[in-house]
Structure 1
Amino acid sequence: MAKEKREEIQFPSLDELFSSQEEREDAKLKRIYEIPLTEIDPFPDHPYKVRDDEDMDHLVESIRAQGLITPATVRKKKDGRYEMISGHRRLRACQLLNMDKMKCEVLEISKDEATIMMVESNFQRSKILPSEKAFAYKMRLDAMKMLVSRMRENQKKGRDFGGKPVGPQLERAAEHLGREYGLSEAEIQAIGTSSSRENNDVGPVGPQGRIRDVVSVQVGDSSRQIHRYIRLTELIPELLEMVDEGKIAMRPAVELSYLEHRQRDVYNLILQEQCTPNHSQALRMKKLYQAGELSIEALEDIMLEEKPNQKERIVFRGDRIAKLFPRDLPLSKREDFVAAAMEHYNRFLQRKARDQER
């Protein structure tokens, strides 16, 4: 089997966003400590899955043979414990090896800065699921907005931010939000206002420039694609898992994210009928939902319509027929049920005819 190509996705680091070259040189003096595993907590809502798979087996064997070469990165919390930023897989490998401690670089950074760094470091992984990307992008965007909001508050009060002048940091952060996430200048200026807090989404893709089609050199995803990934966070877990498994494509999944309380009905129909909506069908569902017209019957009509690669199927309507089927019988199985019933009835008629001839 060919070796899987490594997905190179790099965000500019916090240093590149908020510090000068001189400050970055000074920051190279790392503080490395041996920290007990029992004192390290996982990052809250960590979007990346840690699996006990073949890659984990390789990591365990590497640490067993050579020790932990690259220290994990943590930050010290107010309660004296440590929060993992980068190194969740290494922590799991050390646990599997029954190690008591692991080497960690301890940083003194805020929660929002830690969130950005956590996303950046984990985007270097060889395989990233759509759900992982979705929540990572959203967490990073939310953290960036919070940082910009806090910077503006400090600027209004004539204070520095993190011991550094606010102006250059704000300029770098605004440039990043425009380039990576396609936010317009007006949207960036609105961060921290009441209207921004009420609508914390990236905004719809459209001709007005709210989300411009700007290709990001660092992350490899355009701002449009980043917006699509963030929309996936609005899916119910069951549908999002189907996206990870490749059962639902990205584009229809994005449209399904707008269905809100009808998502569970879509999921149940997928299981019951063993079919998934394509992009065109999902778009029609979204339009009907936004118009307040997406009933269960409308969902069934769209989901059960014939696709080019499907055979024609028979759909029975009306209470007279519907009440004769078992309640748990999928709509797609009704044709088989009717065919079996007709065969049974035909045999009954044949037996009746033979009896009359005697």
Structure 2
Amino acid sequence: MAKPKVIIEDFADMLNFEPEQNTALAPVQGGITEMDFSLMEPFPNHRFKLYEGQQLADMVDSVHQFGILLPIILWHTEDGRHLILSGHNRRNAGQLAGLIKGPVIIKENLTHDEAVLIVTETNLRQRSFSDMSHSERAYCLAQHYEALKSQGKRNDLLQEIERLLNPHDSDENSTSVQLEQKLESREKVGQEYGLSASKVGRYIKISTLIEPLIAKVDTGEIAFLAAYDLSFVENRNQQQQISDLMESEGYKVDMKKAELLRSYYETGKLTDTTMVQILSGEKTRKLKSNKPQPFKVKATVISKYFTNEQSPKEIEDTIDKALTMYFENLNTEVVD
């Protein structure tokens, strides 16, 4: 059965995002106006990728025919900047279509958390969560989590995510009732939205990776679970070293290497040398044993010297004696 498509209403319910009656998304007094594209700035650390290829071409064609139908939402900050909360693709398509301005709705008196919620909510409204890249999902969930945590909403889910983000700080004294509530919350999210609490926690943790590394998750160079373990290397300079080594030396990061990097980091043993040893595969290669490899004597050889009535123990003892005599004679010949 196909997983249900996560739409904006579902996602809002999941994280209990309940806008106030005077929501930041409601039309402001004065309504829609127009503004030059050159006066608009992208939202800082905005990780939702602009449309490309056919999707972008279709949007440019639509703008050519009908103009920009949906206003761009801007945040007029206290320092006088106009940051795009919703409409990065509309502005881009408008510019490519030859326009110099577009319709806007300007929001004022927003907190940063409120602005972030508008960015994530509107992006989820316009595209399916399942269609987003891993980095976009991680960004969206992390921003939602931080904004909602500051508002003190959905404490049960937020505490579960917190535990997933910090597995070593889990509360060993949790009651069975609390545990049951957490399991019910996780199961409900999984059933209704195809997104478990553990998956939410992993996405949020992955969002702490530097841009070059999380981009490799999008391209498939680093698997999702490997990226999760890698995100526990919290030193951003070391993350950058890992990224640089992957680029310069062509090293790959698989699950075993990511687990080792995490383990060495958490035990304070991740140095420049051990990092190279792990990424090059030196630490994950099995050491060759000095012991002789097992050898099986063919049945045709056994049948030449033994009968079916003889037990395996008798055959083994005879072979042992025969080999002892062989090597003793061999050593005698060498001495002579």
TM-score exceeds 0.5: yes
In the TM superposition, what whole-angstrom CA distance separates every residue of 1:274-317 from its partner, at most 9, and x where no partner exists? 34232233112211222122344434444444899x9x999xxx
Which residue in the other structure is 2:87 paired with? 87
Measured after TM superposition, the shift of residue 94 of structure 1 is 1.2
- Find the aligned partners of 2:75 and 2:16 in 1 and give their Cα distance: 16
CA contact (8 A) 2:145 2:158 kept: no
Distance apart, 1:51 and its partner CA: 4.5
- Aligned AA (2:153): A
What is aligned with 2:166? 203
Structure 1 residue runs without a partner (length 5+): 149-172, 188-200, 315-358
Q: Is the 8 A contact 1:306 1:313 kept in 2?
A: no
Q: Is the 8 A contact 2:74 2:85 kept in 1?
A: yes
Deviations 1:144-183 (A, max 9, x none): 334x2xxxxxxxxxxxxxxxxxxxxxxxx522x5347735
Kindly indicate whether residue 189 of structure 2 is the aligned counterpart of residue 216 of structure 1.
Answer: yes
**1:125 maps to which of 123, 127, 138:** 127
Counterpart position of 1:342: none
Q: Which residue type is aligned with residue 103 of structure 1?
A: P
| Map of 1:54 onto structure 2 | 54
Q: Name the SS for the 2:102 alignment partner.
A: strand
SS at match of 1:284: helix
The CA deviation string for residues 9-56 of structure 1, in whole angstroms up to 9 with x for no partner, is 423289961435xx68x9578822223323322222212122553311
1:247 aligns with 2:249: no
Aligned to 1:113: 114
Q: Give the corresponding residue for 1:174.
A: 153
Structure-2 change in CA distance of 1:290 and 1:52 (3 Å): same
SS of the counterpart of 2:56?
helix
Q: Number of aligned residue pairs: give it.
A: 264
**Rounded Cα–Cα distance in structure 1 between residues aligned with 2:140 and 2:59:** 23
- Residue 247 of structure 1, CA deviation: 0.4
Distance 1:108 1:290, change over 3 A: same
Q: What CA distance in whole angstroms lies between the structure 2 residues aligned with 1:78 and 1:15?
A: 29
- Are 1:270 and 2:246 counterparts? yes
Superposition deviation, residue 96 in structure 1 = 1.6
1 CA distance for matches of 2:208 and 2:45?
15
Per-residue deviation at 1:207?
5.8
Q: Which moved more, 1:116-125 or 1:98-107?
A: 98-107
Corresponding residue number in structure 2 for 1:44:
44
Q: Which residue of 1 aligns with 2:298?
A: none
Q: Larger deviation: 212-221 or 124-133?
A: 212-221
Q: CA contact under 8 A between 1:59 and 1:93: conserved in structure 2? A: yes
Looking at structure 2, the residues matched to 206 and 9 of structure 1 have their Cα atoms a distance apart, in angstroms, of: 33
What RMSD over aligned residues (CA atoms) do the two structures have, in Å? 4.0
State the TM-score, normalized to the length of structure 1. Answer: 0.60
Letter of the 2:103 counterpart: K
Distance 1:298 1:306 in 2: 9
Q: What is the Cα deviation at residue 223 of structure 1?
A: 2.5
3-state SS, counterpart of residue 189 of structure 2: coil
State the Cα distance separating 1:270 from its structure 2 match: 3.0
The one of 198, 204, 208 equivalent to 1:234 is: 208
- Equivalent pair of 2:77/2:108 in contact (CA under 8 Å): no
CA 1:288–1:102: 2 relative to 1, 3 Å? same
Decide whether aligned partners of structure 1 residues 247 and 70 sit closer, same or farther in structure 2, where only a CA change above 3 A counts.
Answer: same
Q: Could you tell me which amino acid in structure 2 is paired with residue 121 of structure 1? A: T
How does 1:1-358 map onto structure 2 within 5 Å? 8-10=6-8, 11-12=11-12, 17-19=18-20, 27=26, 31-79=31-79, 81-108=81-108, 110=110, 111-123=112-124, 124-125=126-127, 127-146=131-150, 148=151, 174-175=153-154, 178-179=156-157, 182=160, 202-204=165-167, 208=171, 212=182, 214=186, 216=189, 220-259=194-233, 260=235, 261-271=237-247, 273-305=249-281
SS of the aligned residue for 2:256 comes to: helix
Q: Distance in 1 between the 2:49 and 2:18 partners?
A: 27
Unmatched 5+ stretches in structure 2: 289-336
* Counterpart Cα distance in 2 of 1:98 and 1:313: 64
Q: Report if aligned partners of 2:135, 2:218 keep a CA contact under 8 Å in 1.
A: yes
Which position in structure 2 is the counterpart of 1:344?
Answer: none
Amino acid in structure 1 at the alignment position of 2:120:
V
User: What is the rounded CA distance, in whole Å, between the counterparts of 1:6 and 1:56 in structure 2?
Assistant: 26
* Aligned-partner SS, 1:17: coil
Distance of 1:15 and 1:293 partners within structure 2: 41
What secondary structure is seen at the aligned counterpart in 2 of 1:235? Answer: coil
Percent sequence identity over aligned pairs? 26
Distance 1:101 1:235, change over 3 A: same
Q: 1:313–1:266: structure 2 CA closer, same or farther, 3 Å change rule? A: farther
- Is the Cα contact below 8 Å between 2:40 and 2:82 reproduced in 1? yes
Please give the TM-score of this superposition, normalised by the length of structure 2: 0.64
- The offset of 1:60, in angstroms, is 0.6
Larger gyration radius, structure 1 or structure 2: 2
Task: Provide the rounded CA distance (Å) in 1 between the counterparts of 2:43 and 2:159.
Answer: 24
